[in-house]
Structure 1
Amino acid sequence: MTIRLALQTAGPLLLPGDAGYDEHRRPLNPALDPRPAAVVRAAHTEDVRRAVLAARHHELPFAVQATGHGTHVAHDGALLLRTDAMSAVLIDPDRRVARVGPGTRWGDVLAAAAPFGLAPLSGSSPDVGVVGYTLGGGLGWLARAHGLAADSVLRARVVTADGTVRIADADRNPDLFWALRGGGGSFGVVTELEFRLYPITRVYAGAVTFGRERAAETLLHYRDWIERVPDALSTALLLTRDGSLVVKAMYAGDPDRGRALLEPLLAAAGPVVHDGLRVVDYPRAAMGGTFARTFDQVRVLDDDLVAALAAEPDATVEIRHWGGRIARDSGAAAHRDAPLSVVLDTVPTPGTAAALRRAGLGSSFLNFLPDPARTATAFTARNWAALRRIKAAHDPDNVFAAGLAVPPHAADLVCAAGR
């Protein structure tokens, strides 16, 4: 195949039939069985640059994958760039900054930062890739206290659609820098990311399990209780398929204070089946997440929605509190005014779907969005328009069109062609 001759990389190039092709073509989602035309396992930035140019030369669709957590479409016939071999972490404890490669997972950063008493704004699992998570916004358990992961990005090295390696920060390519912090992977391939760390070592965190008998009453109490809690406390309520009600919480402060804040909610939920709240090193505080088959941001847990969620027969439901620093920051990512999100691991019943439509904001969040057709709902109208203009400036041919992609703004393409 001619692509083998046109693409000379330090990392291996795998074609159908080659050893390793089947292993590296697959994403995390077992429902997808992609058949890319070629898989490139990049070893460094020059490999990434050559892969982008090769895809353009051979007129192949282009897709990027590190851990595969964010892959929602089978990239058949594409040139698939794997960045998992580009894993590196450098901690600057004086500046409280981490610098990572595109294949780095959160577990790598947690392990490297902890000896310095520092922590990143990581997600619910240490196995998730840092760059994809951050480009999609990054909603972690410290977000109410310190914001989305995207808002803590300081600098990115990125290969753009023309094969140029650019630095994006507040002074260099500021439009690209803004778009990368929450706009997803539509603007280039990030080969290095630098972001802030925070002086956090231990947290009061975990889950308390109850029976589900008082689910509706607990949700109604939660609706009022979240109005009074400080930003340092993040919580979610989980209604599980096995008939449990679970309160998940993380408090970045004095554990006695954290327990006192949680007590009214725990009392409302009823007798405790298992209490897993404890003081723990932050790297061990990951509490997992719910697979988002359905994701909605809601303005309020009204009575109809509470009743519908409590009665969902065959679903795991997670209601999560947003607000805090998330709402006070400004950036490309997310609808910042959403106080709550609702996640279901399946398609809701008609009654729940109707209740979500009435209480919902019609918005989503890129990290939790499984449907590429709804990508625009992850952004405000103003930010979506700005992202499309930036896309037209940096990727007018829509090379980075795979998955949850931002399309270029047509009017800006016409203007660019006329210059």
Structure 2
Amino acid sequence: MTKNLFPGDDGFEAASRPWNLTVQQPVTSVAEVTEAAEVAELVRHARRTGAAIAVQPNGHGASGNAGGAILLRTGGLDTVEVDPGRRVARVGAGAKWGQVQAEAARHGLTGLPGSAPGVGVTGYLLGGGLSWFSRKFGFAAGSVLAFEVVDADGEQRRVSADSDPELFWALRGGGGDIAIVTALAIGLQAIDTVYGGRVMWPGQRAAEVLELFRALTFDAPEELTVWFNHVQPPGAPAMAGLDLTFYGSDSEAKEVLGRIDELGGAMLDTRGTLALSELGTITNDPTDPSPGLGRGELVPVLDERVVELVLGELAPLIGFQLRHLGGALARPSDLPSGSLAEPYLLYAFGAGIGPELTEAVRGRLARLTEELGDSVSGRRPYTFLAPGDSAAQAFTRADLERLRELKRARDPQGVFRANYPVLG
């Protein structure tokens, strides 16, 4: 049975709070469901009353756009069933990547997750999904085989490339503004272990580490993904490092990554063979809600301006990250996410602790685009949009208009409200 919470009720504040505590969303109520039929009933109620519904399993992608809406929590729809023979997983809308990876790993299989096992599968895939394995397999949304949804009429449906090709196209990376997903079927890859980990050096060696990153990514096989980090966590000295995954034999990994050992002098080196259920240990992303702000930009070339930025003063930020893209992500795609011609993603991030630091971080992030000028493309992957951004920044003009036409046709009353609406 649906649990409804309203302002003033015990538990309402916690239930309405997004994962990022800097985001505010004054919703009218919270509905927590455990069955798809309850979602359908809620949608029919919203249609009758003129309400809007914002869906968040756990609020990782919250943008502050849910104000005045009913907040639908689908975390109770968290079943994961793996068919190893078909290499397919049926995943409930509330399941997290850690659950999927643990179940798939039992059969020597993997999905296409990002770095954080606590992130919800559905929101990640609705936004395209950049995985450790995307250089080989492309956007993670391309692994979705079918969706179970509730449409704007409150009807439960199964959507596939055969049953409704237009909606299927939109859901595989278009942001989830046109239907509520209650479950989905994803294809799995037959990979049971990877070589991966984190290597860190003192901050004064950041320029050397960045040059190493350049060398590794210049001729990287698609099985290798490397991220460069220049960070200074609160109360700690500055550090520079690499996060990486490579799926292949240990001997191949050591050959590809030999330059790391040549640099030497690492203060931390966690590299080794990992089970697919252990991917989250590479970055050890926070698992509890926390206040933070970030900004992502796609980078065509690591030119002088980008290098000066990522090697320069960190404060008031915690740090800068460069992710290597390319490979399959750069090839033509029939997904709303399209292809990413840019070979790098720059991500700047800071804490939102206290009003003074929060404003300082927000101001620093706001100046990034101006400082970088044409060193960045201006486009951002959907899952890297931040409060204040628009869905228009994630799609080509043609794909954005296609999404908008579908939104107008399938949800003319505006029952559904995505974190970044395509009509916004």
> Normalization by structure 2: what TM-score?
0.88
Q: In the aligned structure 1, how far is the partner of 2:74 from the partner of 2:162? A: 27
Residue 252 (1) aligns with residue 247 (2): yes
Q: Where does residue 373 of structure 2 map in the other structure?
A: 357
Distance 1:377 1:239 in 2: 26
| Pair 1:267–1:404, CA change in 2 (3 A) | farther
Residue 283 (structure 1) aligned to one of 277, 285, 288: 277
Q: Report the Cα distance in structure 2 between the residues aligned to 1:322 and 1:285, rounded to whole angstroms.
A: 18
Matched, 1:381 2:381: no
Paired position in structure 2 for 1:3: none
Question: Is the counterpart of residue 264 in structure 1 residue 259 in structure 2?
Answer: yes
Q: Which of residues 36, 41, 44 in structure 1 aligns to 2:35?
A: 44
- The separation in 2 between residues aligned to 1:161 and 1:48, in whole angstroms, is 11
Residue 204 (1) aligns with residue 195 (2): yes
Contact 1:211 1:245 (8 Å CA) reproduced: yes
Q: What SS class does the counterpart of residue 30 from structure 1 fall into?
A: coil
Q: How many Å separate the matches in 1 of 2:158 and 2:64?
A: 29
**Aligned CA distance change for structure 1 residues 285 and 350 (closer, same or farther; 3 Å):** closer
Task: Report the AA paired with residue 385 of structure 1.
Answer: E
The answer to whether 1:115 aligns with 2:106 is yes
Tell me if structure 2 keeps the 8 A contact 1:334–1:364.
Answer: no
Paired position in structure 2 for 1:167 = 158
2:329 to 323, 326, 330: 326
Counterpart for residue 345 of structure 1: 349
Quote the offset at 1:63 in angstroms: 0.8
Offset at residue 304 of structure 1 (A): 2.3
**C-alpha separation in 1, matches of 2:194 and 2:6:** 47
Q: Do residues 369 (structure 1) and 376 (structure 2) align?
A: no
Gap regions ≥5 residues in structure 1: 1-9, 409-419
* 2:389 is the alignment partner of 1:394: no
Once residues 375 and 81 of structure 1 are traced to their aligned partners in structure 2, the CA distance between those partners, rounded to angstroms, is 21
Separation of aligned partners in 2, 1:384 and 1:200: 34
Structure 1 match to 2:320: 317
The answer on whether the counterparts of 1:236 and 1:320 sit within 8 Å (CA) in structure 2 is yes
Three-state SS of the structure 2 residue aligned to 1:260 is helix
Does the 8 Å contact 1:201/1:282 carry over to 2? yes
Counting only pairs closer than 5 Å after superposition, residues 53-68 of structure 1 correspond to structure 2 as: 53-68=44-59
Deviation of the 1:152 alpha carbon: 0.5
Using a 3 Å threshold, how does the CA distance of structure 1 residues 116 and 329 change in structure 2: closer, same or farther? farther
Cα deviation, residue 30, structure 1: 1.4
Letter of the 1:323 partner, please give it. Answer: G
76-85 or 131-140, which deviates more: 76-85
Deviation of 1:221 after TM superposition, in Å, equals: 4.7
1:163–1:177: structure 2 CA closer, same or farther, 3 Å change rule? same
Alpha-carbon offset, residue 274 of structure 1: 1.4
- How far did 1:129 drift? 0.7
Give, as a single letter, the amino acid of the residue that structure 2 aligns with 1:326: L
CA distance change for structure 1 residues 311 and 266 in 2, over 3 Å: closer, same or farther? farther
For 1:328, give the aligned amino acid: R
Aligned residues: 398
CA distance in 2, matches of 1:349, 1:131: 28
Give SS of 1:80's match.
strand
Equivalences for residues 169-248 of structure 1 within 5 A = 169-241=160-232, 242-248=237-243
Segment drifting more, 344-353 vs 24-33? 344-353
Per-residue deviation, 1:366: 1.1
Cα drift, residue 211 of structure 1: 1.6
Partner in structure 2 of residue 6 of structure 1? none
Aligned residue number for residue 403 of structure 1: 419
**Residue of structure 2 in register with 1:96 after alignment:** 87
CA deviation string 1:143-185 (max 9, x = no partner)? 1122221010000011111212222111011000000000112
- 2-structure distance, mates of 1:375, 1:350: 18
**Aligned CA distance change for structure 1 residues 349 and 87 (closer, same or farther; 3 Å):** closer
In structure 2, do the counterparts of structure 1 residues 325 and 349 end up closer, same or farther at CA, with 3 Å as the change threshold? closer
Pairwise CA distance, 1:58: 1.9
Change (3 A) 1:402 1:169: closer
Q: Distance in 2 between matches of 1:205 and 1:20?
A: 40
1:28 aligns to 2:19 (yes or no)? yes
Q: 2:354: which partner in 1?
A: none
- Give the SS at the match of 1:214: helix
**Preserved CA contact (<8 Å) 1:239 1:310:** yes
Opposite residue 12 of structure 2, the aligned amino acid is Y
SS at match of 1:158: strand
Q: Is the 8 A contact 1:296 1:342 kept in 2?
A: yes
Q: CA deviation at 1:50?
A: 1.3
> What's the counterpart of residue 298 of structure 1?
299
Report if aligned partners of 1:220, 1:301 keep a CA contact under 8 Å in 2.
no
Alpha-carbon shift at residue 285 of structure 1 (Å): 1.9
Tell me if the contact between 1:87 and 1:103 (Cα under 8 Å) persists in the aligned partners: yes
Shift of 1:335: 4.5
Contact 1:14 1:21 in 2 (8 A): yes
Q: 1:356 Cα shift? A: 2.5
**TM-score (normalised: structure 1):** 0.89
- Equivalent position SS for 2:204: coil
1:378 CA drift (Å): 0.8
Deviation at 1:251, TM superposition (A): 0.3
Deviations 1:28-53 (A, max 9, x none): 12123433222111121111111112
The one-character-per-residue Cα deviations of 1:341-365 (angstroms, maximum 9, x if unpaired) are 0000045479854452221111101
1:372–1:169 CA distance, 2 compared to 1 (3 A): farther
Q: 1:136: which partner in 2? A: 127
Structure 2 portions without partners, runs of 5+: 287-291, 351-361
> 1:317·1:344 contact (CA, 8 Å) conserved in 2?
yes
Kept in 2, the 8 Å contact 1:27–1:67? The answer is: yes
